[in-house]
């Protein structure tokens, strides 16, 4: 009995010391309203449950916070996050806080110090080195790959014509994987015909364990995670993905001279080697893995959501078709750079899709020094969360019809007065998405190929879930009819 009392007293003493050492943090947190939190747990219980429950809880929690004020707070156990829905504050957070929040560390087991998760000092150097490779002129060389893989997609979709509704995401995701693997490391994977390889299975397993860890508080401390079987499975599968990319890199280095003499398009890995950028082999792997991860599901999801929305809004789909007819006539040629630059309406459809279904729903950063926001000054070392999916549906920013699909919101005259951080699907500031031009070109090319060949139909859907990215609960269900 005495031992139990002693343990309790020691625990209480530790807790008091811990609270005392963070006195200024608690004082700061008290300066703005919060609700729905419990003692010690904070808001952790809102993030327990399946991916759909977490999405719904997050929306409820955030809706209440948005009504209460411009800046609010969320406690995940002892960790404080400041959340702002004010575009001016969002701009300050994304321009000033370039360090990623601690929650990205689960991705670090796989991506190491790749651009997506790199700590700030390393990120600054590597982002500067990589920017010229994501230059528009270089990315435009990949348009041929976008067209070629889009054509394979159109052929594969033929098997679904006239059939009941099916989930198009699997088709689009395989197409985007072929595009991203070929352009980033010159690897022709042909995922569209061979979707089940050990490497692809390993990637899927790693992603699902990382996602589980993000939203299951008890799996977050390394000591607890390492006690579970997930830890060994994650390690085994991460090793398999690393081995795959390492072999591609070694092969590239071995054949560097003969590849470099060749005229024409060069993949991103070849360009990184050619410029002799002082990256080690491990750093090259970390960057290539980051690019293949960041560039695939994001673009595949946006394309799939666009098809769902166009299936529900036949008038908009006819407008896209008319635009494509004007550009291509009856030709089935692959889209060129000039063709893509003429797809103004499709461009607006994609932008409106990314507003309504913001596939990267949350962005987490951390203050390094004090940060003055509209209603408070955030101390150093505090997490700052930006929630683009909430900003993009804010009636304050988008008007009473914020939930309605209207591509003309993105006509130049309608964008002119909008705050730059009212719309941030690719984030904002110097740590924004390095692949946004690549993504826009690829999405337009693939959609143009599909929509020239097929008419799509779909039903309204409203159930969503967060599995790192934003997915519809029942998939992207559409039906296809052949055009012409
Ligand atoms: C619709 C398509 C895409 C969307 C919506 C998107 C969105 C984003 C967002 C929101 C971020 C910042 C994330 C954060 O701070 O947590 C980001 C970063 C990044 N994206 Fe994208 N992305 C897309 C396509 C791509 C493509 C095609 C590539 C590469 C080919 C790519 C490569 C990256 C990389 C490497 C980063 C990390 C940049 C850095 O930290 O410097 N993304 N993306």
**Residue-wise pLDDT tens digits, 365-422:** 999 999 999 888 999 999 999 999 999 999 999 999 999 999 999 999 999 999 999 9
- The reported pLDDT for the residue numbered 21 is 67
Residue 169 CB: number of other CB atoms within 10 A? 22
Lowest-confidence pick of 42-46, 89-93, 320-324, 469-473? 42-46
Q: What is the dihedral of CA 176, 178, 184, 188, to 10 degrees?
A: 180
What is the value of pTM for the model shown? 0.94
- Look at residue 15 and tell me if it is in a domain: no
Residue 385's CATH number: 1.10.630.10
Q: Which domain holds residue 312?
A: 29-482
Q: Report which ligand 1 atom has the smallest distance to the Cα of 432.
A: 12
Query: How far is it, in rounded angstroms, from Cα 163 to Cα 457?
Result: 12
- Look at residue 12 and tell me if it is in a domain: no
- Look at residue 11 and tell me if it is in a domain: no
CA atoms within 13 A on the CB side of 140: 9
Averaged pLDDT, 285-313: 97
- Look at residue 106 and tell me if it is in a domain: yes
Q: How far is the CA of 138 from the centre of ligand 1 (A)?
A: 17
Q: What is the token pair recorded at 134? A: 């994501």
The terminus-to-terminus CA distance of the chain in angstroms comes to 83
438 C-beta closer than 6 A to ligand 1 = yes
268 C-beta closer than 6 A to ligand 1 = no
φ, ψ at 409 (rounded to 5°): -60, -20
- Look at residue 7 and tell me if it is in a domain: no
Ligand 1, atom 41: nearest CA belongs to which residue? 431
The helices-and-strands tally (H runs, E runs) of the chain is 22, 12
pLDDT band at 171 (very low <50, low <70, confident <90, very high): very high
More confident residue, 79 or 313: 313
Residues 329/342, Cβ–Cβ less than 8 Å? no
Q: Please, which residues bridge with residue 371 across strands?
A: 378
Residue 260 CB: number of other CB atoms within 10 A? 11
Measure the CA angle with vertex 353, ends 70 and 116; round to 5°: 70
Helices (H), 357-462: 388-391, 395-398, 412-415, 436-453
Measure Cα distances from 370 to 19, 143, 237, 363, 383 in Å. Answer: 21, 44, 40, 19, 12
Residue 152, pLDDT above cutoff 80: yes
More confident residue, 4 or 222: 222
Lowest-confidence pick of 202-211, 257-266, 439-448? 257-266
Q: Report which ligand 1 atom has the smallest distance to the Cα of 442.
A: 27
Averaged pLDDT, 154-176: 96
Q: How far is the CA of 433 from the centre of ligand 1 (A)?
A: 4
Averaged pLDDT, 36-63: 84
Residue 69, pLDDT above cutoff 70: no
- Look at residue 17 and tell me if it is in a domain: no
Q: How far is the CA of 363 from the centre of ligand 1 (A)?
A: 11
- The reported pLDDT for the residue numbered 41 is 81
Ligand 1, atom 19: nearest CA belongs to which residue? 433
Ligand 1, atom 37: nearest CA belongs to which residue? 116
Domain count for the chain: 1
Ligand 1, atom 18: nearest CA belongs to which residue? 433
Binding site annotation covers 433?
Answer: yes
Residue 468 burial by Cβ neighbours in a 10 Å radius (0-12, 13-18, 19+): buried
Query: How far is it, in rounded angstroms, from Cα 220 to Cα 341?
Result: 45
187 C-beta closer than 6 A to ligand 1 = no
pLDDT tens per residue across span 390-399: 999 999 999 9
Give me the chain's average pLDDT, please. Answer: 92
Query: How far is it, in rounded angstroms, from Cα 246 to Cα 250?
Result: 6
């Amino acid at each position: 009995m005495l031992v139990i009392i002693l343990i309790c007293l020691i625990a209480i003493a530790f807790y008091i010391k811990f609270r005392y050492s963070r006195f200024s943090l608690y004082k700061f947190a008290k300066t703005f309203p919060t609700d729905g939190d419990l003692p010690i747990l904070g808001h952790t219980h809102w993030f327990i449950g399946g991916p759909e429950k977490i999405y719904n809880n997050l929306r409820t929690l955030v809706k209440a916070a948005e009504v209460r004020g411009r800046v609010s707070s969320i406690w995940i156990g002892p960790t404080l996050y400041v959340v702002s829905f004010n575009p001016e504050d969002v701009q300050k957070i994304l321009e000033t806080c370039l360090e990623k929040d601690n929650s990205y560390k689960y991705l670090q087991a796989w991506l190491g110090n790749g651009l997506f998760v790199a700590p700030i000092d390393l990120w600054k150097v590597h982002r500067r080195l990589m920017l010229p490779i994501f230059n528009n002129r270089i990315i435009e060389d990949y348009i041929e790959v976008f067209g070629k893989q889009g054509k394979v997609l159109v052929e594969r979709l033929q098997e679904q014509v006239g059939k009941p509704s099916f989930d198009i995401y699997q088709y689009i995701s395989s197409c985007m994987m072929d595009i991203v693997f070929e352009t980033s490391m010159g690897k022709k994977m042909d995922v569209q015909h061979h979707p089940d390889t050990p490497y692809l299975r390993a990637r899927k397993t790693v992603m699902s364990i990382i996602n589980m860890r993000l939203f299951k508080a008890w799996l977050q401390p390394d000591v607890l995670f390492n006690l579970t079987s997930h830890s060994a499975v994650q390690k085994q599968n991460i090793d398999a993905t690393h081995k795959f990319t390492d072999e591609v890199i070694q092969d590239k280095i071995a054949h560097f001279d003969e590849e470099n003499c060749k005229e024409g398009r060069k993949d991103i890995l070849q360009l990184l080697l050619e410029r002799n950028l002082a990256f080690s082999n491990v750093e090259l792997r970390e960057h290539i893995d980051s690019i293949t991860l960041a560039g695939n599901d994001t673009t595949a999801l946006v394309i799939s959501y666009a098809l769902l929305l166009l299936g529900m809004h036949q008038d908009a789909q006819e407008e896209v078709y008319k635009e494509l007819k004007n550009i291509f006539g009856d030709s089935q040629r692959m889209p060129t750079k000039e063709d893509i630059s003429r797809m103004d309406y499709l461009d607006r459809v994609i932008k409106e899709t990314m507003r309504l279904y913001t596939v990267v729903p949350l962005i987490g950063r951390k203050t390094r020094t004090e940060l003055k926001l509209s209603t408070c000054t955030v101390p150093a070392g505090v997490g700052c969360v930006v929630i683009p999916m909430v900003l993009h549906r804010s009636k304050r920013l988008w008007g009473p019809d914020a939930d309605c699909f209207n591509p003309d919101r993105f006509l130049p005259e309608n964008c002119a007065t909008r705050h730059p951080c009212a719309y941030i699907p690719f984030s904002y500031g110097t740590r924004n998405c390095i692949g946004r031009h690549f993504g826009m070109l690829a999405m337009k090319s693939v959609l143009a190929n599909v929509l020239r060949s097929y008419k799509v139909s779909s039903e309204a859907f409203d159930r969503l879930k967060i599995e790192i990215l934003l997915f519809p609960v029942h998939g992207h269900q559409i039906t296809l009819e052949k055009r012409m």
